[in-house]
Amino acid sequence: MTAGTLYFIPVPLTEDTTPQQVVPPEVLQRMHSLRHFIVENEKTARHFLGASGHPVPMREITLTVLTKDTPNKDLQKLLQPVQQGMDVGLMSEAGCPGIADPGAALAAVAHHKGIRVTPLIGPSSLLLALMASGLNGQRFTFLGYLPNDKNERIRTIKGIEFDSKKQQATQLFIETPYRNQHVLEDLIANLQAQTKLCVACNVSGKEELIVTKTVADWKKAPLPDLHKKPTVFLLLA
């Protein structure tokens, strides 16, 4: 039996954008041909599928859950429909699955089993932020999340700045939305004056804010309110 394909399906980054605004028609068409999906959250996945105009009633669509807490031993079970010849779609909560997302582990297992993994085009907050930042787009590193502890976070920030200057590379990182404001304040307080800092908030949404300034210039005006708003931070020393 020939295995199916595991499709990585991007979804909107913010709640105030529709699938039709940010996902190409060809991707929606491919998604509408699928009946099996692996998702992080069933409720939001059903909302996205419904908003996209999926032609099949939700009760006839199969959803299985993959989160960061899913044991590795369960990943093979998630791929059983693909091994049985069915095409399956993988969706993240926001943006592109597999990037800062548990889908990466599933892709690794799929490759090990010889299953075709096909990424579909759609919004990625990281790449969109980098595109608009004006920072170095030829050499960059995504660092994931910063440490929770303030002292450790400050040490990490200084290390990131050192690496950026040494490599002349843009450094990208994200934070849990309710800690965004603390991270921004720590960045402004601890980076060198001429380091460039980009804040990309609500990327692709109606309240999108993408601003790049030197740290010295950030200090001259009130900081934006980033509390509980999805944000990407980028710096170039």
Per-residue pLDDT of 25-82, as tens digits, reads 999 999 999 999 999 999 999 999 999 999 999 999 999 999 999 998 899 999 999 9
Looking at the fold, whether 35 and 112 belong to one and the same domain comes out as yes
Residue for token pair 């919004």 = 123
Residue 14 DSSP one-character state: S
Write b or e for each residue in 197-207: b if 16 or more Cβ atoms lie within 10 A of its Cβ, otherwise e: bbbbbbbbbee
Looking at the fold, whether 78 and 153 belong to one and the same domain comes out as no
Q: CA-CA distance, 68 to 71, in Å (whole number)?
A: 8
Domain finish residue from 57, 85, 119: 119
Q: Report which residue type is found at 69.
A: D
Domain of residue 161, residue span:
125-236
Looking at the fold, whether 193 and 148 belong to one and the same domain comes out as yes
Q: CA-CA distance, 149 to 157, in Å (whole number)?
A: 12
Domain finish residue from 119, 142, 176: 119
Looking at the fold, whether 48 and 101 belong to one and the same domain comes out as yes
Q: CA-CA distance, 201 to 217, in Å (whole number)?
A: 18
Percent of the chain with pLDDT over 90: 95
- Cα 75 to Cα 62, 115, 120, 162, distances in angstroms: 16, 13, 21, 38
Q: What's 134's domain CATH number?
A: 3.30.950.10
Looking at the fold, whether 37 and 74 belong to one and the same domain comes out as yes
Kindly report the pTM of this predicted structure.
0.92
Q: What's 85's domain CATH number?
A: 3.40.1010.10
| pLDDT grade for 1, boundaries at 50, 70 and 90 | confident
Looking at the fold, whether 173 and 113 belong to one and the same domain comes out as no
Domain finish residue from 119, 135, 159: 119
